[in-house]
Chain A
Amino acid sequence: MEGVRLLDVVQFFCRTTTTGCLQVKNGKDRGTLWLKDGAIVHAEIGRQQGEEAALVVLTWRYGDFSLQRRVEPPAVSIVTNWEGLVMRAACALDEHPVKAEGGVPTGAAGVLPIAAAGEVVDGVTGARDEAALPAEGPLASPTATEAQTAALVHLGETVHSLARDIGEALGLGPPVAVYGWGKTHRVALVVTADGSARLETEPLAAAGVTP
């Protein structure tokens, strides 16, 4: 899994309700996360344990990892939901943008101009919902918090990054657009000529999509 962003890997295991022990190696550093039914319940890095240890591991951009499935945690030191931890880690990463492997810029400004300066995101509340897109309405609004804006930026960045990886792996080149839809709404990530991307949601009827 070389080149895979660690945060995406952890999100995948959480979303697939994994139970197990995720050991991560980042250069000389070693960290361990324990997951129970998708929740991050314990973390250790050296003598450090709990939430702070989890955040250290989650903010490693890349690392070698191995998962031992169905391993029960030796302790429960984390009660914060995993979405909250991932969001905090994502915000921390955004505050310290670097060039990621493959040249994908991870800073908010160059990747996803979904909210122009002074604009923020509306319709998103709570840690869980911060990771989901509002089903309707404009993504930019004057009432959302900085964290909500960062959450959407991270979401768009993740989608863009995943699509780039898929295109590269299958030899299809960079993505032009990514669409996802359910029964009522479509989410679209449109990549512009300069390589940045724009995230939108709209009702399926308006998008001309048959459910």
Chain B
Amino acid sequence: MENRYVEAIRTLRSVPRVKGSFVLTEDGVILAVDMPGTLPTSVMQLVGTRLLVLGESMNAEGDPCTNLELQFGDHTLFGCRVKGALLCVQAEPDVDPPALQTAVSRVVTELATLRGM
């Protein structure tokens, strides 16, 4: 099952300037990682936990935060909350937003199917 999650998120790399992605559950369990380089599980857990708290922190009144965008110097980290999970994508700042959005939508659907939702 884990490999199928990885297969699903790996398709995001077909979008130019996407560098990698990972997905975790809302209680912080990492489901799949496809990030550049080798990142220890402990690092991914640390990142995942912070992203979840960050998303919770950015809820506006009556409008829960479902999307995140963290801009760094050379990369941007996008977060998309799906039922019970958070999909995160690392890309260069000039990634094509419609192409990314289309690919993310497809992956979100696939992840939801894999999770039985």
For A179, list chain B residues within 8 Å (CB): 67-71
- Which residues from A are CB-within-8-Å of B57? 155, 158-159, 162, 180
Distance A134 CA – B58 CA, assembled complex (angstroms): 11
Are the C-beta atoms of A133 and B46 separated by less than 8 Å? Answer: no
Q: How far is the CB of B28 from chain A (nearest CB, A)?
A: 7
Closest to B27 in A: A16
Q: Measured between C-beta atoms, what is the minimum distance from B66 to chain A in Å?
A: 5
Judge whether A170 is part of the interface by a CB distance below 8 angstroms. Answer: yes
Q: Does A181 contact B (CB under 8 A)?
A: yes
Interface centre among A172, A173, A201 (most CB of B within 10 A): A172
A184 part of interface (Cβ distance < 8 Å): yes
Cβ-defined partner of A184 (8 Å) among B37, B49, B63: B63
Complex CA–CA separation, A210 to B77 (angstroms): 18
* A113 in the interface (beta carbon within 8 A): no
Q: Which of B26, B47, B61, B67 contacts A133 (CB 8 A)?
A: B61
Asked whether, in the complex, the Cβ of B60 is within 8 Å of the Cβ of A167, the reply is: no
Q: Which of A14-45 contact B (CB under 8 A)?
A: 15-16
A179 and B50 alpha carbons, distance in the complex (Å): 15
Q: Interface size for chain A: under 10, 10 to 19, 20 to 34, or 35 or more residues? A: 35 or more
| CA–CA, A201 and B65, complex, Å | 12
Query: Measured between alpha carbons, how far is A184 from B90 in the docked complex, in Å?
Result: 24
Taking a contact as CB atoms under 8 Å apart, the answer to whether A187 and B60 are in contact is yes
**Is residue A116 contacting chain B, with contact meaning CB distance below 8 A?**
no
User: Would A182 and B66 count as touching, CB distance under 8 A?
Assistant: yes
B62:A135 contact, CB within 8 angstroms: yes
Question: In the complex the two chains form, is A132's CB within 8 Å of B53's CB?
Answer: no
Q: Is residue A11 within 8 Å, beta carbon to beta carbon, of the partner chain?
A: yes
Expressed in whole angstroms, the minimum distance between the Cβ of A75 and any Cβ of chain B is 26
- Tell me the B residues contacting A by CB distance below 8 Å: 26-28, 35, 37, 39, 43, 46-47, 49-75, 77, 90, 101
Q: A123-B61, A133-B61 known; 7 other A-B pairs, CB under 8 Å?
A: A12-B53, A15-B56, A133-B60, A158-B57, A169-B47, A173-B73, A180-B65
